[in-house]
Amino acid sequence: MDKVFEIEIKDNIEVVIDSRFKLKGFIEFIRLSFNRLEIRDNEYHIYFDKDNIKKHKLLLQTLINMHKKVHKDDTIAKRIALNYRKDVVIKIKKYFVSASNVLRITIRKISSKEFSIEFSKEVKSVYNYIKGLFLFHILEMYNDKLIISFNESSKETVYEISKKNSIMGYKVEFVIDEEEFKMSHRNYSVEGSIKEYLAKIRNALELFRANSIYEFDMIKKEYKRLAKKYHPDLHRDKPELIKKIYEKKFMKIKESYELLEEYYKTKND
């Protein structure tokens, strides 16, 4: 089912946004940017404030961009431009699937070194979310299954994620032998794992002198330059210690590029 994103201009500019969109940063912007704001459940009423017109216009432009991305037309932009002084009412539409459409995720230990995550059907957004959490522990990937290294960090992630009832707006049901993934301590959070992952993304971008993952052509060009500069085959005649330093630099460059390449693919799925 397509995500809902509708804008209608009445007495106010009324916007309905599907909860499956990534809205955390957007909602945070609204909360921090507008003093004349009313919040009721999942509805945000932003009153027009001439003293804060820059933020109001920025909000409207963001909504226009989101709308154009979903509907591939810009007719709404002209109408909003004529009505930019109106209040904005944003309604977050919660998305749920029926019980018959529950996504079953089976997690089973294969050996002392690995376990599998199997999906009962293909739901790309859920698959990519879980893949991102285990990205540094993945051994093999298939369309409906991931093979993960069995270690304390991946066990902690399994424990935390298996408590969820929904992911990316989809109802999920985990089938898991809890004894196999029993934790001695339970102060780990998936959110911490995501923060660590994003920190590695930022470090990798800095290595390739890029500001954004969407500068991927530049990232690829810089990767080729650095890989050529530090490739071990070009430094065979150097002292052993220097060779090891170059090998470590080359491996860091290679791993950083692979991380960004995977992240870029996920962003464009």
For residue 172, the SS3 value is: strand
Can you give the pLDDT at residue 268?
63
Give, for all 269 residues of the chain, the pLDDT tens digit. 567 889 999 999 999 998 878 888 888 889 889 989 998 878 999 999 999 999 999 999 999 988 888 888 778 888 998 999 999 999 998 765 445 568 899 999 888 889 999 999 888 888 988 988 888 889 888 888 999 999 888 888 888 888 888 887 788 889 888 777 775 544 444 555 666 777 788 888 989 988 888 888 999 999 999 988 888 888 888 888 888 888 888 989 998 998 888 888 776 65
154 contact partners, CB below 8 Å, separation of at least 6: 115, 134, 137, 148
Structure tokens, 187 = 């102060």
pLDDT tens-digit profile of 233-246? 888 888 888 888 88
Can you give the pLDDT at residue 107?
93
- Report how far residue 149's alpha carbon sits from residue 173's, in angstroms, rounded to the nearest whole number: 22
Can you give the pLDDT at residue 188?
44
Q: Look-up: residue for tokens 């690995």?
A: 114
Can you give the pLDDT at residue 186?
44
Can you give the pLDDT at residue 14?
95
Chain Cα centroid distance, residue 251: 25
Task: Give the burial string for 226-247 (b: 16+ CB within 10 Å, else e).
Answer: beeebeeeebeeeeeeeeeebe
Q: Look-up: residue for tokens 């470590």?
A: 248
Question: Which class for 200: exposed (0-12), middle (13-18), buried (19 or more C-beta within 10 A)?
Answer: middle
- Report how far residue 263's alpha carbon sits from residue 259's, in angstroms, rounded to the nearest whole number: 6
For residue 7, the SS3 value is: strand
Alpha helices in the chain (DSSP H): 24-33, 53-71, 75-82, 124-133, 152-161, 190-207, 216-230, 240-267
Structure tokens, 3 = 């995500």
Structural domains in the chain, sorted by start: 5-93 (no CATH), 99-176 (3.30.70), 190-267 (no CATH)
Can you give the pLDDT at residue 40?
84
Cα distances from 45 to residues 6, 15, 90, 177, 196, in angstroms, run 16, 10, 6, 46, 34
Can you give the pLDDT at residue 136?
81
Chain Cα centroid distance, residue 61: 22
User: Positive or negative CA dihedral for 189, 149, 268, 202?
Assistant: positive
Can you give the pLDDT at residue 185?
45
Can you give the pLDDT at residue 187?
46
